[in-house]
Amino acid sequence: MELNVKQDCIGVDWSAVSAILKTVGMAYHEPEALRRAFEASHTTVFIYRAGQLIGFGRAISDGVYQAAIYDCAVLPEFQGKGHGATLMKNILAQIVDCNVILYASPGKEGFYQKIGFRKMKTGMAHFKNSKSMKERGFTE
Ligand SMILES: CC(C)(COP(=O)(O)OP(=O)(O)OC[C@H]1O[C@@H](n2cnc3c(N)ncnc32)[C@H](O)[C@@H]1OP(=O)(O)O)[C@@H](O)C(=O)NCCC(=O)NCCS
């Protein structure tokens, strides 16, 4: 089945984005908040299969030398088929001159290592919900 990779936010069903993030256990945001976040991002990528949204991700960036990747997810029934790698390839292709940082969900580090990311030794985060992020294994 043919994949369609879109790089703009036109016609995106933000309720579907919100539902997918919830399904994969990532932070919940209202559809309207997701629309604002994605539309304000430097890079957005959405993957459709037969018209169905199956994955997406975004990068915020100055477009010059720094970028950070967020909200990457593939619907569980489509994981393990290379769609996550396609997603990352398309995001990275739009920020080629940038240093790129992200924080992996616990257990997903290997996915990012396979495409060239390395663990940071001095990464620091000031999370809004610091207690929950600690409980979920993101911080010490
Ligand atoms: C992380 C995620 C985007 C990966 O998407 P995917 O479509 O399953 O990944 P792919 O099939 O493209 O995998 C690419 C490669 O990474 C490997 N890989 C995937 N997940 C991995 C993991 N958790 N640990 C180690 N390797 C992993 C695959 O085996 C594959 O290796 P190969 O090239 O040798 O075959 C997807 O699992 C997901 O949406 N998870 C839930 C949400 C999430 O945690 N997002 C990341 C937030 S940081």
Amino acid (one-letter) located at 38: F
Q: What CA–CA distances, in Å, run from 95 to 63, 65, 105?
A: 7, 8, 22
Instruction: State how many domains the chain has.
Output: 1
Q: Is residue 7 part of a domain?
A: yes
115 close to ligand 1 (CB < 6 Angstrom): no
CATH code for position 25: 3.40.630.30
Q: With helix as H, strand as E and coil as C, how does 49-107 read?
A: ECCEEEEEEEEEECCCCEEEEEEEEECHHHCCCCHHHHHHHHHHCCCCCCEEECCCCCC
Tell me the pLDDT tens digit for each residue of 65-115.
999 999 999 999 999 999 999 999 999 999 999 999 999 999 999 999 999
Residue of minimum CA distance from atom 18 in ligand 1: 111
Domain that holds residue 44: 3-102
Confidence of residue 2 (pLDDT cuts 50, 70, 90): confident
Residue of minimum CA distance from atom 9 in ligand 1: 84
Rounded to 10 deg, the angle between the 31-39 and 14-23 helix axes is 100
- CA of 79 from ligand 1 middle (Å) equals 7
Residue of minimum CA distance from atom 19 in ligand 1: 111
User: What phi-psi label fits residue 11: left (phi over 0), alpha (psi between -120 and 50 degrees) or beta?
Assistant: left
Q: Is residue 139 part of a domain?
A: no
